[in-house]
Structure 1
Amino acid sequence: MRNWKLFFSLIVLLTHATQVLTQPIVFREYIGANFANVRFSDVPINPSIQFHFILSFAIDFTPGSSPKPTNGRFNVFWDSENLSPSQVLSIKRQHPNVKVALSLGGDTVSDKAANFTAFSIDSWVSNAVSSLTSVVKQYNLDGIDIDYEHFHVSPSVFAQCIGRVVTTLKRNRVISFASIAPYDDGEVQRHYLALWRSYGRVFDYVNFQFYAYDRRTTMGQFLSYFNEQSSNYDGGKMLVSFGTDSSGGLKPENGFFTACEELRKQRKLNGIFVWSADNSKANGFRYERQAQAVLAKA
């Protein structure tokens, strides 16, 4: 029996390693959080790369001005008028390289912290699997992203809740890929690293929020941060990122794409993601075009 368990564990590890190595290079963009009337069709899509839209956000809180946690029963909080199920189907039919995911959590809900809250692990997992399966099927989605930034539970409880839900959704073939979106904050990292240690194998991408670093970040610091976080999330497909809002990090105008070229030379450029389409609409998605051109070369 012990040998069979060892054999099974090796198969799981080899499968995960193969998935990491064979995942195509990807461009990802968050969309819908700011209700800026942006549509999928507004965003330029390079046909030479894999493209993921990430709907922001689904949150396990009640709607309205006084939201309360629902113990894993998720509701849609993105701009569903402009980003509806029919529009998901339309953009995927027009562009075979496009997939659409949803992101869980986010920073706030009705200007209050979107705290991760679970009454118990089993009840939260059961409610989350049921409600997320419903949303994914309604919108014809492909994947899920984890972007909780505030917590009312311990790292171990967070890890068990999220890990079990993603594992179940994948096993049930509700989703085909999953990602996490941590950033360099002590409390955030404690929760995501606990999740990674226990369930890193079920996540295909690490959407590390490099735009959460200081606005004065230099190219050298950016590359150092990338290597540091790649080590923290060892074995994960680490993506680089920038924000088109007032966030920090290394901005495109300050050398972001030069840093990407350096990572490409080192064979470390796995993909780029952007926060967010809502903010980029005003400048005509200039940097999205540039980012996709860089990835097409890679």
Structure 2
Amino acid sequence: MNASSVPLPPLLLLPTILIISLILSPLAGAQNSNHYSEYIGALFTGVKFSDVPINSGVDFHFILSFAIDYTTTTSPPSPTNGDFNVYWDSGNLSPADVSAIKQAHPNVKVAVSIGGATVSGDTVYFSPSSADSWVSNAVSSLTSIIQQYNLDGIDIDYENFQTDSATFADCIGRLISTLKTNNVISFASIAPFDNSDVQGHYQALWASYSNVIDFVNFQFYAYSSATTESQFLSYYDAQRSNYAGGQVLASFTTDGSGGLSPANGFFDACQTLKGEGKLAGIFAWTADSSKSNGFQYETEAQNLLAS
């Protein structure tokens, strides 16, 4: 009998069996969570926090959109170098409304998204005069807004840039780090999409500051509206690789304008991801356009996460 044929004692086999079972288990490296986020307030449709169904079995984040470091006192609007102003529907989404929804639903937190694509129809650019002055102004102005509205977190949604990726990473990374160190916020997310310039800026941020970023709200709805379920799953795996170690959320738009829609297989894809231990959560753009259909997809998404 040669050495390779000698049976191992049972006690020596046990660790090997455990290791193999962990590798083969669908829960190995699992990132499934019950996290749900939804943007709200950008389209001024009169939607209120209290309109949106909230499942007590999910970790629910509203994301107010947007606070923008631009002023509309000039024409066209001009950048203010980190001095942020509220541009969401504050008449229906006020500080009192934030407090009320959080009191009514202990599982709810509320964040503010900064940047966005446009203001008053003009493009919003990330355009700091200098990194130090932008960070100083941003920390000050956003701290004021966050404390006034009793907010919990910040989301980064700049989509157009007039500076290099290293400066963006430095400014945004320092902003998030300072707000967390000062206990102004408890979580932060970023909202990139599949565009080479956008990805270059956000991946530079991720490379240096992933330790302070809690969620990647990747805009999968920026892909074609002809996206199939298999393509969506491929895109999802690609972005999990691009933002390695991050909580990359699956996403859909409630107006059906792009990506894999809830009517055409989005939730089937999410069930697949959940079965593979990959579903870090779901987010939707936007509650503003869901009021007309009774928030059907919000309910379905939360039921899936809570099950």
TM-score by length of 2: 0.89
The amino acid that maps onto 1:119 is: S
Q: Which has the larger radius of gyration?
A: 2
The within-5 A match list for 1:203-218 is 203-218=213-228
Cα gap change, 1:246 to 1:260, in 2 (>3 Å): closer
Deviations 1:141-186 (A, max 9, x none): 0000000000011000000000000000000000000000000001
Write the distance in 2 (CA, Å) between the matches of 1:285 and 1:128.
Answer: 34
Percentage of identical aligned residues: 62
Question: Do residues 59 (structure 1) and 35 (structure 2) align?
Answer: no
Question: Do residues 31 (structure 1) and 40 (structure 2) align?
Answer: yes
Write the distance in 1 (CA, Å) between the matches of 2:135 and 2:30.
Answer: 30
TM-score by length of 1: 0.91
Higher alpha-carbon deviation: 98-107 or 240-249: 240-249
Question: Do residues 44 (structure 1) and 48 (structure 2) align?
Answer: no
Write the distance in 2 (CA, Å) between the matches of 1:52 and 1:176.
Answer: 12
Contact 2:223 2:259 in 1 (8 A): yes
The amino acid that maps onto 1:31 is: I
Write the distance in 2 (CA, Å) between the matches of 1:233 and 1:208.
Answer: 10
1:63 offset after TM fit, Å? 2.8
Write the distance in 1 (CA, Å) between the matches of 2:111 and 2:120.
Answer: 22
**Counterpart in 2 of 1:13?**
none
**Counterpart in 1 of 2:176?**
166
**Counterpart in 1 of 2:93?**
83
1:21 offset after TM fit, Å? 8.2
Deviations 1:70-95 (A, max 9, x none): 00000000000000000000000000
Contact 1:207 1:240 in 2 (8 A): yes
Write the distance in 2 (CA, Å) between the matches of 1:91 and 1:40.
Answer: 7
Contact 2:31 2:279 in 1 (8 A): no
**Counterpart in 2 of 1:237?**
247
How many residues align? The count is 278
Cα gap change, 1:120 to 1:212, in 2 (>3 Å): same
Contact 1:32 1:56 in 2 (8 A): yes
The 3-state SS of whatever aligns with 1:215 is: coil
The amino acid that maps onto 1:59 is: I
Contact 2:33 2:279 in 1 (8 A): no
Write the distance in 2 (CA, Å) between the matches of 1:275 and 1:195.
Answer: 23
The within-5 A match list for 1:113-152 is 113-152=123-162
1:23 offset after TM fit, Å? 9.6
The 3-state SS of whatever aligns with 2:201 is: helix
Contact 2:69 2:79 in 1 (8 A): yes
